[in-house]
Amino acid sequence: MISLDNISNINGKRRLYAVATLILGVLAISFATRYLPQSVTQHLSARLGGEVLVLEVADTNALRKQGLSGRDGLMPNEGMLFIFPSKGTYGFWMKDMRFPIDIVWLDDAYRVVDVRERVEPDSYPMVFRPDVSTRYTVELSSGFFAKHGLAKGMSLEILR
């Protein structure tokens, strides 16, 4: 391993290569921590109103901030589950979104307590917040909530 202490004991071209290697290592670490995802994305299966869903889990600040932004769409029974560290009235916006979604807020027991249906990308910078404090949020394809006859009070069942 190359360290600053070792570089002073190296002569000529070897010192130059050692310094260059050290600098490239620092740059690689800096790039990785800044631009690569900080968490591994998990998926789980869940059921809402009889419909089985595959949900990508957003349980870190970085994953929650990214959300579904930049994607082209979702498969019919796909979505994203946002997990927050505590209850709150967490807002969602459509920054960098390319498709409309349904936003479903859930309480501590995974019961649906609020919904915004068919939220369009051009609604940005409007922020959508639930009427009550929640702990979880699910984003689904636009129209999913109405198409499957879902309603407030229904529970999301985590299947794993």
**Are 84 and 24 within one domain?**
no
**Are 93 and 124 within one domain?**
yes
pLDDT for position 44 = 95
Question: Which of 20-24, 134-138, 148-152 has the weakest average pLDDT?
Answer: 20-24
Sign of CA dihedral 31, 83, 113, 44: positive
Give residue 8's domain range: 4-35
**Are 10 and 88 within one domain?**
no
**Are 28 and 99 within one domain?**
no
Look at residues 107, 122, 47, 37 and name the one whose alpha carbon lies nearest to residue 79.
Answer: 47
List the CATH number of the domain containing 91.
2.60.120.1140
Q: How far apart are CA 121 and CA 102, in angstroms?
A: 11
pLDDT for position 41 = 73
Instruction: Please state, for a pLDDT cut of 70, what percent of the chain lies above it.
Output: 75
**Are 65 and 134 within one domain?**
yes
**Are 12 and 80 within one domain?**
no
**Are 31 and 67 within one domain?**
no
**Number of folded domains in the chain?**
2
R_g (Cα) of the chain, nearest Å: 22
**Are 101 and 53 within one domain?**
yes
| Side-by-side strand order, sheet with 112-119 | 112-119, 101-106, 134-141, 78-88, 51-58, 42-48, 156-158
Q: pLDDT for 110-149, tens place per residue?
A: 999 999 999 999 999 999 999 999 999 999 999 999 999 9
